[in-house]
A and B are shown apart, each in its own frame.
Chain A
Amino acid sequence: MKRAWAFAFANLRRNRKRNLATVAAIAFGYAGLVLLGGYVVRIERFLKANAVFIQHAGHVAVWKQGGLDNAAAEPDKYQFDRAQTDAILAWAKADPRVERATRYLRGVGMAGNACATRPASLLGIDPQEHAALLQHPELLTASPELARPAQGQWAYQVRDAPRGVALAAGLQKILQKPKVFDEVRGKPPAPTVLDCDTDKVTEQLAADADIQVVGQTYDGTLNAVDGQMVASFHAAEPVAEETAMIVPLSTLQSLYATERVTYVALLLRDTADAPQVAADLKAALAAKAIATETYTYADQAWAPYYVGTMAFLGSMVGFITLLVTAVLVFTVAGAMTLAILERTREFGTWRALGFQRGHVIGLLVRESLLLSLVGLAVGLAIGLCATYAVNAAGIRFSPPGVAGTMQLLITPAAWACLGQAILLPPGIMAATWWVVRGQMRKKPVDLLNAATA
């Protein structure tokens, strides 16, 4: 049928008022989906950056075989020695897909302020390697606030503190160390022996940024190192807010009297390479008789919070999308039923003029498609305007599992908008086809005399 689209468009214009409500329903439904999709995209980027750079999962991480489960219990057996670490670093350096490799040592100890001690979860990382992570464009794009300390400067930024450590903000409060190294530099030091049982202690503790870390070497000897608190930060998980501590790798190695590292994390130029890089690295190390296990940031065992949260959000958003789509399809089906009933005589006239059933059905389906597209376009515009308004409002909120607050940002992605948009027209067209087909079974004479028109 020639000019069918023009004909359908003219019909829609002719019934502007009637179609307005239908377009509004589609538009608001789709705008809601755009906002929801944009929120999920934003959360995904945030959580991924949080997992890769702040929880130090990397895009790919390599552990000694069984290390993820046993490294804490048997560090000597399940951590990499110097030669094994060098082999991993050499492989990473030679592979063009790998941007950089970072060594980590994990352990526990007691953090002290000369009066009291608290258990601490220690993460050892070379300050320069830490700098590269915190300045990474992927992190800065996803959430620059994640890269900033809560107070002070990171160890790589403080040249005159060779053992600069960073404490989680909760641990800093409990140890009563309100000032970081930069704030006490050049000021009179605290007394050598503090008056721990008197009221003077609060002032004395605040006079310096010294922290003692006590731990057990791998051969069972008690050991201690001194450090200067150069920064405090919000831990990636609330549970760690009162225990987490970042220590220079060499300092932590000297505390445990070891050269070992717990794992090595790789940052990739293209995240999509992660599964292949993980497989290739494992195979390459196996060829050198180093048994390893490799994980990507999307592995449940390695990045459970990111994977679990995204699975939950995925379920939630899928459920909502399904509900909204179903409501929209029924709404449009209802509106089309009314329109078709009203236009029964018009259809009878077309049939009498020689239009076949298929022509009329095709025309109505085209009308519904155009209606959907107009609704989607308007919905996209509303969704983007609402996005701009929400982002400009600077709303902050406290999602579960994140220490502190984060800004409510909505970042609609083209692929997400397109994916949600693709869902709607087929449903709406199918509903129209189903409604029209029933009516078109009637003879032209019955259509012309229909009482519903």
Chain B
Amino acid sequence: MKTLHLLLRLAVRNVRRGWRHSIAAIGTMAIGFVALATFQGYLSQLLESQIAMNYARNMIGDFMVRKPGGGSVDARVRPDKYWLDEKDQAFVQAWVKRQGADVRAAMRALLVEGVANAGPASASFMLFGHDIAEGHIARRDWQWYAWAGRPARPDEPNAVVAGLGLGQSLGCVVKGNPQIFDPRTARPIAAERPMDCKTTSVQLSGSSPTGRVNALDGEIVGLTSGGVREFDQRLLWGPLSLAQDLASTKGVDSFQIVLADPGRAPALIERFSAEAKAAGLHLQAVDWQQTEQADLLNRGRDMMSIYRNLVVFVLLVIAGSAVLTTMAKTVRERTREIGTLRSLGFRKGHMLAMFALEAGVLAVVSGVLGAVVATGLRLAVDAAGITYRAGMLAEDIPLTIGWSGQTYAAGFAFLAAVAVLAGWVAARRVVELRVAEALLGEH
């Protein structure tokens, strides 16, 4: 411990004495840190904000309950085989009740597809029937989700809210060019904006599992967006009873469970699974992100990982080369000093440790400097209010850079590891010299 303390003091002294060399290495590592923290912060912020928005806009629970195999191709062919019947629903509702304040809402949902007709216009739709009141809770901070018109109310059995694309196909559009988003919250302003509709009455045709075609009347009360343009072409939100009547069933596809503390989801999933199994029911509690429905999200996340890995690799090589150069120069210039220290009784391991500590000290200083610059850059970018378009997403995305201690710690650890490794590699050969050779500077 005492030796380590001495070596650390020596390392700090050496960094200070060779400050010109140190500045070059610190500059490179600091900018490397800024690049890593900024890029990682950008990616993580992008993912987190998109996931949070998707959960709120599409009423996704912290976990969902469905039949095993729900969401599979077979479930698309024979959906009725995967519906939760009334007994299943009663079990889930009783379980939710037992959880008390842990569960904020348990929203039942049923997807029905069909064709909507409004006068001469017709378009295919995907009706997401759901409990309107519970859906209101599941929308979290997106409770006003109407671009025009208004959200559906629990006491309206035929009220539907259409995706912008579907609405357009049925002759219903946002009137004029009103301001929809609150720039402060990036959410729709809670105010009823006018719609321009040829007719708000639509006939919805869907078929039951036995092939019987049902037709029901719906009333478009609002226009909305689920966040993905292609999705908006067919999106329809409405009351669960409407979807059940169209499909001639009392069943539901799933329950979306919204928790008071989303962090408790894994524990509650486990608890639910155990109790359902004990009750002899084939029900599955699952995180939405593990389902087929999260395919787009997971693919996007994989793509981001490719970019991130490429950037990390390039920075690793660049920062590693820079530190290696600096350390090699430092070590070479101090061959005689190494000889002196060796003749005073310091071992090879001590020498290697000293240079590794020097590199570590450089990494600490670089990390602090890099963190300051990265924070400044983050604040500047966030304040600039830049937006950009992204693939299938319906709206522009604000360019923001997130902050997380974890990211900064990881960036620091990454650079420190590179620096220490570079210091060790640079010192290894000189330390192997005999003491007499080192004293003569024969290197």
Residues in chain A within 8 A of chain B (CB atoms): 18, 21-22, 24-25, 28-29, 32-33, 35-36, 69-70, 72-76, 107-110, 115-121, 170, 173-174, 176, 196-197, 215-216, 218-220, 237-240, 242-243, 300, 304-305, 307-309, 311-312, 315-316, 319-320, 323-324, 326-328, 330-331, 333-335, 337-338, 341-342, 397-401, 452
Contact = CB atoms under 8 A, between A and B. Distances in A.
B329 A240 contact: no
A336 B28 CA distance: 12
B170 A25 contact: no
Interface in B193-216: 198, 205, 207, 210-211, 213
Contact of A197 (B24, B210, B324): B210
A315 B388 contact: yes
Contact of B388 (A216, A219, A239, A311): A311
B314 interface: yes
Interface in B249-301: 295-296, 299-300
A432 B233 CA distance: 56
A328 to B, nearest CB: 6
A119 B113 contact: yes
Given A21-B324, A400-B299, A121 B388 contact: no
Given A119-B114, A452-B20, A401 B296 contact: yes
Nearest to A33: B314
Nearest to A330: B31
B391 A309 contact: yes
B389 A308 contact: yes
Nearest to A342: B329
Contact of A73 (B24, B31, B76, B169): B169
Nearest to A121: B124
A309 B390 CA distance: 5
A315 B399 contact: yes
Interface in B123-165: 123-125
B319 A338 contact: no
A309 B120 CA distance: 35
Contacts of A197: 210
B207 A116 contact: yes
B392 interface: yes
23 contacts: A18-B325, A21-B324, A25-B318, A32-B311, A70-B171, A72-B168, A73-B120, A73-B169, A74-B120, A74-B198, A108-B123, A115-B211, A220-B120, A311-B390, A312-B391, A315-B399, A323-B39, A324-B314, A326-B34, A331-B319, A334-B322, A398-B299, A400-B391
B77 interface: yes
Interface string B223-238: 0000011110110000
User: Chain B interface: which size bin?
Assistant: 35 or more
Nearest to B390: A312
Interface in B76-129: 76-77, 113-115, 117-118, 120-125
B335 interface: no
B39 A320 contact: yes
B55 interface: no
B384 to A, nearest CB: 13
A237 B314 CA distance: 33
Interface of B: 20-21, 23-25, 27-28, 31-32, 34-35, 38-39, 42, 73, 76-77, 113-115, 117-118, 120-125, 168-171, 173, 198, 205, 207, 210-211, 213, 228-231, 233-234, 295-296, 299-300, 302-303, 306-307, 310-311, 313-315, 317-319, 321-322, 324-326, 328-329, 388-393, 399
A193 B38 CA distance: 65
Contacts of A320: 39, 307, 310-311
Contacts of B310: 32, 35-36, 320
B229 A304 contact: yes
B238 to A, nearest CB: 16
A35 B311 CA distance: 11
A243 to B, nearest CB: 6
Nearest to A304: B229
Contacts of A72: 121-123, 168-170
Given A119-B115, A331-B31, 6 more contacts: A25-B322, A33-B314, A73-B120, A196-B211, A331-B28, A333-B27
Contacts of B393: 308
Contact of A334 (B27, B198, B211, B296): B27
A108 B233 CA distance: 12
Nearest to B21: A338
Nearest to B38: A323
Given A29-B317, A311-B388, A74 B28 contact: no
A401 B392 CA distance: 7
Contact of B25 (A108, A323, A334): A334
A286 B210 CA distance: 52
A405 to B, nearest CB: 10
Contacts of B122: 72, 107-108, 215-216
Contact of B23 (A110, A117, A243, A337): A337
Listed from nearest, the 8 A-B pairs whose CB atoms lie closest are A334-B24, A119-B124, A73-B171, A32-B314, A72-B169, A239-B230, A28-B317, A21-B325
Contacts of B31: 326-327, 330-331
A28 B115 CA distance: 56
A355 B210 CA distance: 96
Contact of B295 (A75, A118, A238, A307): A238
B171 A116 contact: no
A452 B339 CA distance: 22
Contacts of B318: 25, 28-29, 324, 327-328, 331
B441 to A, nearest CB: 16
A231 B35 CA distance: 49
Given A323-B38, A323-B39, A334 B321 contact: no
A323 B299 CA distance: 25
A28 B391 contact: no
Contacts of A32: 310-311, 313-314
Contact of B392 (A109, A116, A305): A305
Contacts of A215: 122
B392 to A, nearest CB: 5
B24 A338 contact: yes
Given A116-B207, A176-B77, A327-B35, A312 B115 contact: no
Contacts of A342: 329
A318 B328 CA distance: 33
A239 B213 contact: no
A238 B296 contact: yes
B20 A338 contact: yes
A240 B121 CA distance: 20
Contact of A174 (B76, B120, B173, B210): B76
A153 to B, nearest CB: 24
Given A238-B295, A238-B296, A319-B42, A327 B28 contact: yes
A335 to B, nearest CB: 6
A309 B35 CA distance: 23
Contacts of B321: 21-22, 24-25, 28, 331
Contacts of A35: 310
